[in-house]
Amino acid sequence: MTKVITYGTFDLFHQGHLNLLKRAKKLGDYLIVGVTTEHFDEARGKVNVIDSTLERVENVRKTGLADEIIIEDHEGQKMEDIQKYGVDIFTVGSDWVGTFDYLKAFCKVIYLERTPDVSSTMLREGRFQIVQIGIVGTGRIAPRFVAEEKYVSGINIIAAYNPEVESGNEFQKKYEIDTYFEDYDAFLEKVDAVYIASPNETHYDYARRALLAGKHVLSENPVALSKEKTIELYQIAREKDIILLEGIKTAYCPGFQQLINTARSGQIGEIRDVEACYSRLADPMSRERTDARFGGAFLEFAAYTLLPIFKLFGTHYESVQIESILDDNGLDLYTKIMLRYPQGMATAKCGVGVKSEGQLVIAGTKGYILAESPWWLTRKYQVRYENPNQIDNYEPRFQGDGLRYEMSEFVSKINHVEKSDYKLTEEEIVAISELTELFMEKRATRQL
């Protein structure tokens, strides 16, 4: 009996997939089809797969061509499967010619002719609006957005806006952006959506004008500096039926979601304490260190450190205490936010002029989770127990610098693929803005 194996995502099952499976089946007597999981696809940079793993498996099953269907979830699995199932022929479409030649050490490798003019990518794009996005602000974060854009299908950067002509022009040239505007209204007319990466104090105004013009908004944190303004922006978005997404990138990282789920699963018992720290020594001449009104450690990092706390304990804390170490100019070099909940307590620490261990520790009644720096781009974490020799290691997949996950979420939301807000809820954002407002009041009056 000749055993044949093939792999694919099989998203939005199409004629090309069917033809490929028919041809693969003809190569032997027994066909095994490997269908990739969402996480594996994400890890390979395919972040916009629409059908769930179960739907994709079901679509392959319905063809009646597969004698066996398996799930592919990790790098290197093909080699394992070929040996495990005693496979004689490995086959995929001709778009992969050469890629899998290394499998020739284990079996025959055949690249089958690919069906022209159809692909899941084309179907996804045809089905969905390609989001034509413009970047507001061309400073330090914007280039990272440009670099990650190519990993997310369905989004095109077409314009940049910066009232400072020189910086804008330079950016446009360097990153080959189609158009550059110094007039915000003209810029808004050109785009479907905006990514706001301008200085903190300008986010609200840019976001509000974009939303009122009916444009989707992805804004760097904080989108507004008060609770009232944050609520107002969400209300406009709801009324206009458009998307407002706050760019706290940790929230969209698959590894962070996994970590939160581990904590919620009961593995460490009841959660009693959460301690999150994020510090980066900023250049003394930078905006973070010189802008006493809109710079400083809290505004830079508090959203990240508050995120795991709100995820695990909710937003209804009993009391809050904020303390800072201030620079001569009144800016917070280091800030500690202490929250008390009925079931436990939490601390969020942020630094731009004091360096500490950037870790996340979630303490429970049976053990604790330790995620080392940079836990905010969750690549690994451990569950530890009383017995120091017992350690469970987790290494979730993580690609790029984290932005692609929030971009992908934004595109999915615009296209109504992703409907739920569980990754970052309006309630969480509003709670963060409430603390931001409280902090800014205290800082302005030096009550920290």
* Interacting residues with ligand CTP (CB under 6 A): 6, 8-11, 16-17, 20, 46, 92-93, 95-96, 114-115, 118-121
From the CB of 100, what's the least distance to ligand CTP, in Å? 10
From the CB of 20, what's the least distance to ligand CTP, in Å? 4
Cis peptide before 374 (omega within 30 of 0): yes
Measured from the CB atom, the residue of 40 and 171 that comes closer to ligand CTP is: 40
Rounded CA-CA distance 177/355 in Å is 37
Cβ within 8 Å of residue 362, ≥6 positions away: 263, 268, 271, 273, 274, 308, 312, 368, 369
Measured from the CB atom, the residue of 112 and 251 that comes closer to ligand CTP is: 112
Q: What is the enclosing helix (H) or strand (E) of 60?
A: helix 53-62
From the CB of 48, what's the least distance to ligand CTP, in Å? 8
Cis peptide before 222 (omega within 30 of 0): yes
From the CB of 15, what's the least distance to ligand CTP, in Å? 7
From the CB of 329, what's the least distance to ligand CTP, in Å? 52
Alpha-carbon torsion, ordered 177, 210, 418, 138, to 10 deg: 30
Work out the burial of residue 98: count CB atoms within 10 Å of its CB; fewer than 13 is exposed, 13-18 middle, 19 or more buried: exposed
Q: Please say whether the beta carbons of 269 and 364 come within 8 A.
A: yes
Q: How many CB atoms lie within 10 A of CB 120?
A: 23
Q: In what order do the strands lie in the sheet with 89-93?
A: 68-72, 30-36, 3-8, 89-93, 108-112
Measured from the CB atom, the residue of 74 and 264 that comes closer to ligand CTP is: 74
Query: Which amino acid would we find at residue 320?
Result: V
Measured from the CB atom, the residue of 45 and 143 that comes closer to ligand CTP is: 45
Rounded CA-CA distance 304/249 in Å is 8
Q: Please say whether the beta carbons of 225 and 440 come within 8 A.
A: yes
From the CB of 112, what's the least distance to ligand CTP, in Å? 6
From the CB of 401, what's the least distance to ligand CTP, in Å? 23
Rounded CA-CA distance 251/408 in Å is 13
Measured from the CB atom, the residue of 21 and 210 that comes closer to ligand CTP is: 21
Measured from the CB atom, the residue of 172 and 412 that comes closer to ligand CTP is: 412
Rounded CA-CA distance 279/297 in Å is 8
Q: How many CB atoms lie within 10 A of CB 191?
A: 25
From the CB of 33, what's the least distance to ligand CTP, in Å? 9
Q: Nearest-CB residue to ligand CTP?
A: 93
Measured from the CB atom, the residue of 16 and 247 that comes closer to ligand CTP is: 16
From the CB of 46, what's the least distance to ligand CTP, in Å? 6
Cβ within 8 Å of residue 329, ≥6 positions away: 290, 292
Rounded CA-CA distance 172/179 in Å is 7
From the CB of 92, what's the least distance to ligand CTP, in Å? 4
From the CB of 8, what's the least distance to ligand CTP, in Å? 3
Rounded CA-CA distance 274/350 in Å is 14
398-402, Cβ contacts within 8 angstroms, sequence gap of 24 or more = 398/253, 398/254, 398/255, 399/42, 399/43, 399/45, 399/151, 400/45, 400/148, 400/151, 401/144, 401/147, 401/148, 401/377, 402/249, 402/250, 402/252, 402/253, 402/376, 402/377
Measured from the CB atom, the residue of 28 and 137 that comes closer to ligand CTP is: 28
Measured from the CB atom, the residue of 17 and 413 that comes closer to ligand CTP is: 17
Measured from the CB atom, the residue of 120 and 315 that comes closer to ligand CTP is: 120
Q: Please say whether the beta carbons of 41 and 47 come within 8 A.
A: yes
Measured from the CB atom, the residue of 23 and 311 that comes closer to ligand CTP is: 23
